[in-house]
Amino acid sequence: MAKIEDGTGLGFDARVDENNRFHVHAVGVTEVVHAAEQGLAFNINTGQISVTADATLVYLKNNETNDFVVEAIAIGNDGGATYSTRPLITVVRNPTGGDLITDQTDVDMNQNRDFGSSRVFNSNAYKGKTGGTLTGGNDIAILQSTTGGRDFFTLGFVLTEGSSIGLSYTANISAGTSLIYVALVGYLRDPAGQDN
């Protein structure tokens, strides 16, 4: 009769019950928690952007060999402007041009979500501006934003090496200025867990 034994040499055997079920005790974590524990989760935040009209918001290109999963987009709006209707955010898959890319300004924050990790996310991460341009690529989503407060959109978009994401903003502002920030919340997939 074959047995499954403890590999540490302590002589413990695995338990199989009368229904042929193997007994284990396991602790499961989500992929994002695992990534954070490995120092592979990041928060990319534009910082405040002063918006008076249509604008670009953020551009992110993954320069890592690991896939980067954009699990969510958070957008904050201080509500300082007057709006004719709610603003729209267009998410663009693999944009190729526009001054968001060619006249870039780095985001204010590109930080590891593991406070004990010094690992840096190898990426191009730029913040937008009023009147900014973003061209090429394909529109993949339209999100409707509030005019004062914070929105959180769960997405699960995957950026393979060299892939990028950009956001443009149809402001619908009739007067005034709003301060807006955008955060891309995501993680690099652990290469040990990726199918190739």
Domain ranges of the chain: 40-193
Average pLDDT score over residue span 155-174: 97
Name the average pLDDT for the chain.
91
Residue 166 φ/ψ, nearest 5 degrees: -140, 150
Is the pLDDT at 32 greater than 90, yes or no?
A: no
Average pLDDT score over residue span 43-59: 97
Residue 178 φ/ψ, nearest 5 degrees: -115, 145
Under the banding of pLDDT at 50, 70 and 90, the label for residue 196 is very low
Is the pLDDT at 145 greater than 70, yes or no?
A: yes
pLDDT top residue among 178 and 12: 178
pTM score of the predicted model: 0.85
pLDDT in tens, 75-131: 999 999 999 999 999 999 999 999 999 999 999 999 999 999 999 999 999 999 999
- Partners of 169 in beta bridges: 55, 89
**What pLDDT score does 17 carry?**
85
Task: Write the CATH number of the domain with boundaries 40-193.
Answer: 2.60.120
Average pLDDT score over residue span 129-154: 95
Residues near 16 by Cβ (< 8 Å), separated by ≥ 6? 22, 23
Beta strands in 19-161 (DSSP E): 41-45, 49-51, 55-62, 68-77, 82-83, 88-93, 109-112, 123-127, 138-144, 149-159
Between the CA of residue 149 and those of 28, 74, 178, what are the distances in Å?
Answer: 34, 11, 11
Q: What is the DSSP letter of 36?
A: H
Is the pLDDT at 187 greater than 80, yes or no?
A: yes
Average pLDDT score over residue span 135-153: 95
Residue 31's SS3 state is: helix
pLDDT top residue among 32 and 29: 32
Under the banding of pLDDT at 50, 70 and 90, the label for residue 9 is confident
**What pLDDT score does 176 carry?**
96
